């Protein structure tokens, strides 16, 4: 069902658009009676409960308009506080991002922090992105924490998510929150929670916090009154230290000096990246950084893009246009909270091409490993981390350079978990995943587009110093390690039975794994839900030492890989494909590329996924 959504762009607690303010409708009982009783009861709780009058007037207007669909969607459930926090459409209702859902979530988190750290001074860091109401939600979050006697380090202006992760450890905080919905459309906002190591929350804290949040059933249980003495505003002081750490990632400053006029185009897509990325690039030594002016101003309406997502061609179009005009070497875009980065470069035909997350990560991994080796920094205790649905090319490169490569479940909280376990024993170089996120160094424990932009630019400078483009460098990697190509499709099963259909699909794959896929024997099945690796040729099983997750992977005899991963929140399932073939010479690139595309198409057809 499609729901029409009313968005509240409120700047203060008790203000909402005048158009929503009206007298209570005479037809209220008529429309309420048509809804499920539980939804009607929830609406009446909001109309009669401890909610401000402006909020109640919005509900009354929806009733007067007969907008049963919107009321149903806004109240049919509570906005779920998942393992990463909250994310949802902004507006009035229990299933919306608003003052009350944010405040109740914060109270639950505050309660858990006080239980986890009894008789200790507790501090948290809070940041927000450029989205509509993000600054308001950040103030609400700070108010509630401070009212609970918790010390708050509140960024006084928008900042990238990775800087929030950095600030948690910098200030010795026990937790942190960033208000962002990442690259979601403008109607959304979110609340991302972190633990004391600067990483997003993992077990057992995730489930325990969820329990505390769910136990808050009324705004009357929330401490709303801001305690000014418990709030410290931060900004440039943290920027300075964080930027120094990013600059410290550079492995070859002399090379940058030689290539200081590298033509770089950058767009923050109306987000937080504008606060740090251009100055980091300039401080690193790049003197020709060109910002896309149409997208430089922070704006939660994202007026120049349909989705502020650097994966999308449309979102990158202005950056690519400027890159063409300048005959640039590199175009980069970061999402609104600047934790993910997409890039475009000229390919072997001189045409501008967007690289996907695996490709960008491939050249970044190759450069960093190569640079560390040449600098004599690989001593046998270094490691990198990737996720299980990311290209295996990174594993091959790590092995070649004598660096251990760990694989984790999808999500940077798991990459951060490996760093936490090996802290003081081994040296982390970088980590990444296919969805355009990378982490360099261990001073940030989440994906970091600010540091990624810096090191991607250094990678392009490295290629240019060798009279190559970044695309040439990528082909050099394929010549040495094999041409790997990845694809992904997402299947949505609509309707009430959609989620069950997907569970049935996964159960069928577990019970009857395909004997072959696209003409190649299936040799292994990795079931991350049961934590069992099965050799399908011998029947031998091995325990997978990893947290349980509903993911299946099939390894084929020819080295190709197929992964199935259902969404935990939507009736949707994603299938990931990784195929490979040798590349004997650069001139064969297009031919092999087409062969790999045909392989992926064959896998999709064989599994009947369309």
| pLDDT, tens digit, 9 for 90 and up, residues 553-592 | 999 999 999 999 998 666 789 999 999 999 999 999 999 9
Question: Among this protein's residues, is 578 annotated catalytic?
Answer: no
User: What residues are paired with 384 via a beta bridge?
Assistant: 405
The pLDDT of residue 223 is 98
Residues 148 and 215 in one domain: yes
Domain around 582: 483-606
Residues 306 and 428 in one domain: no
Residue where a domain stops, chosen among 353, 382, 401: 353
Residue where a domain stops, chosen among 200, 234, 268: 234
Residues 402 and 542 in one domain: no
Residue where a domain stops, chosen among 332, 353, 374: 353
Residues 183 and 110 in one domain: yes
**pLDDT under 70 in the chain at which residues?**
1-35, 495-496, 568-570
Residues 166 and 277 in one domain: no
Here the tokens at position 551 are 């993911």
Residues 71 and 87 in one domain: no
Residue with tokens 């979102």: 315
Residues 465 and 548 in one domain: no
The pLDDT of residue 215 is 96
Residues 114 and 219 in one domain: yes
| 137/404 Cα distance (integer angstroms) | 41
Tens-place pLDDT, residues 533-562: 999 999 999 999 999 999 999 999 999 999
The pLDDT of residue 17 is 30
DSSP string, 267-328: E-TTSGGGGTHHHHHHHHT---EEE-GGGTS--TT-TT-SS--TTSHHHHHHHHHHHHHHT-
Instruction: Write out 95-123 in H/E/C secondary structure.
Output: CCECHHHHHHHHHHHHHHHHHHCCCCCCE
The pLDDT of residue 34 is 53
The pLDDT of residue 21 is 27
The pLDDT of residue 500 is 85
The pLDDT of residue 496 is 62
Number of domains in the chain: 5
Residues 380 and 499 in one domain: no
Residue 528, C-beta contacts closer than 8 angstroms, at least 6 positions apart = 388, 409, 544, 546, 548, 549, 550, 551, 552, 553
Catalytic residue among 165, 182, 549, 563: 182
Here the tokens at position 91 are 């507006």
Are the C-beta atoms of 138 and 179 separated by less than 8 Å? yes
Residue 490 Cα distances to 567, 575, 578, angstroms: 10, 6, 15
pTM equals: 0.92
Residues 492 and 349 in one domain: no
User: Rg for the chain (alpha carbons), in Å?
Assistant: 25
The pLDDT of residue 262 is 98
Residues 117 and 1 in one domain: no
Residues 72 and 87 in one domain: no
The pLDDT of residue 14 is 36
The CATH number linked to 390 is 3.40.120.10
Residue 464 Cα distances to 262, 263, 472, angstroms: 8, 11, 10
The pLDDT of residue 7 is 33
């Amino acid at each position: 069902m499609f729901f029409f959504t009313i968005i509240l762009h409120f700047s203060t607690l008790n203000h909402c658009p005048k158009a929503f303010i009206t007298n209570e409708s005479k037809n209220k009982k008529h429309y309420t009676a048509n809804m499920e009783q539980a939804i009607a009861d929830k609406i009446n709780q909001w109309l009669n409960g401890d909610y401000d009058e402006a909020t109640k007037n919005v509900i009354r207007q929806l009733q007067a308009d007969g907008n049963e669909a919107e009321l149903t969607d806004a109240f049919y459930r509570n906005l779920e506080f998942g393992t990463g926090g909250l994310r949802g459409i902004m507006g009035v209702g229990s299933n919306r991002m608003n003052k009350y859902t944010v405040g109740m979530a914060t109270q639950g988190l505050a309660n858990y922090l006080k239980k986890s750290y009894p008789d200790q001074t507790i501090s948290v860091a809070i940041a927000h992105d450029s989205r509509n109401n993000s600054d308001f939600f950040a103030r609400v979050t700070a108010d509630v924490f401070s009212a609970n006697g918790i010390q708050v380090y509140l960024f006084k202006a928008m900042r990238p998510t990775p800087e929030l992760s950095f600030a948690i450890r910098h200030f010795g905080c026990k937790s942190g929150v960033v208000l962002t919905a990442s690259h979601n459309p403008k109607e959304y906002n979110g609340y991302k929670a972190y633990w004391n190591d600067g990483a997003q929350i993992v077990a057992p804290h995730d489930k325990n916090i969820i329990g505390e949040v769910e136990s808050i059933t009324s705004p009357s249980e929330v401490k709303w009154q801001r305690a000014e003495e418990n709030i410290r505003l931060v900004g440039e002081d943290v920027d300075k230290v964080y930027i120094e750490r990013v600059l410290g990632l550079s492995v070859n400053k002399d090379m940058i000096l030689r290539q200081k006029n590298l033509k770089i185009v950058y767009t923050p897509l109306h987000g937080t990246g504008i606060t740090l990325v251009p100055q980091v690039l300039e401080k690193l030594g790049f003197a020709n950084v060109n910002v896309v002016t149409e997208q430089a101003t922070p704006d939660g309406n994202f007026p120049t893009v349909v989705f502020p997502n650097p994966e999308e061609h449309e979102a990158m179009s202005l950056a690519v246009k400027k890159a063409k005009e300048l005959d640039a070497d590199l175009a980069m875009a970061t999402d609104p909270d600047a934790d993910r980065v997409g890039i475009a470069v000229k390919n072997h035909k001189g045409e501008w091409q967007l690289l996907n997350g695996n490709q960008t990560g491939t050249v970044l991994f190759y450069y960093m490993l190569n640079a560390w080796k040449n600098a004599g920094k690989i001593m046998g205790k270094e490691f990198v981390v990737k996720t299980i649905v990311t290209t295996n090319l990174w594993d091959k490169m790590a092995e070649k350079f004598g660096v251990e490569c760990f694989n984790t479940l999808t999500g940077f909280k798991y990459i951060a978990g490996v760093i936490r376990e090996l802290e003081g024993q081994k040296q982390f170089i970088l980590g990444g995943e296919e969805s355009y996120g990378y982490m360099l160094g261990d001073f940030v424990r989440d994906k970091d587009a600010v540091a990624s932009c810096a090191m991607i630019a250094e990678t392009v400078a490295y290629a240019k110093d060798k009279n190559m483009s970044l695309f040439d460098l990528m082909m050099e990697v394929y010549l040495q390690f094999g041409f790997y190509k990845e694809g992904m499709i997402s299947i949505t099963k609509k309707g009430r039975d959609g989620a069950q259909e997907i569970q049935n699909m996964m159960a069928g794959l577990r019970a009857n794994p395909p004997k072959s896929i696209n003409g190649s024997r299936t040799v292994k099945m990795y079931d991350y839900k049961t934590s069992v690796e099965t050799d399908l040729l011998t029947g031998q099983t091995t325990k997978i030492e990893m947290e349980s997750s509903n993911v299946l992977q099939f390894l084929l005899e020819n080295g190709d890989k197929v992964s199935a991963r259902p969404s935990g929140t939507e009736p949707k399932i994603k299938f990931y494909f990784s195929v490979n073939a040798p590349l004997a010479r650069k001139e064969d690139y297009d031919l092999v590329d087409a062969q790999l595309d045909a392989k992926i198409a064959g896998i999709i057809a064989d599994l009947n996924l369309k």
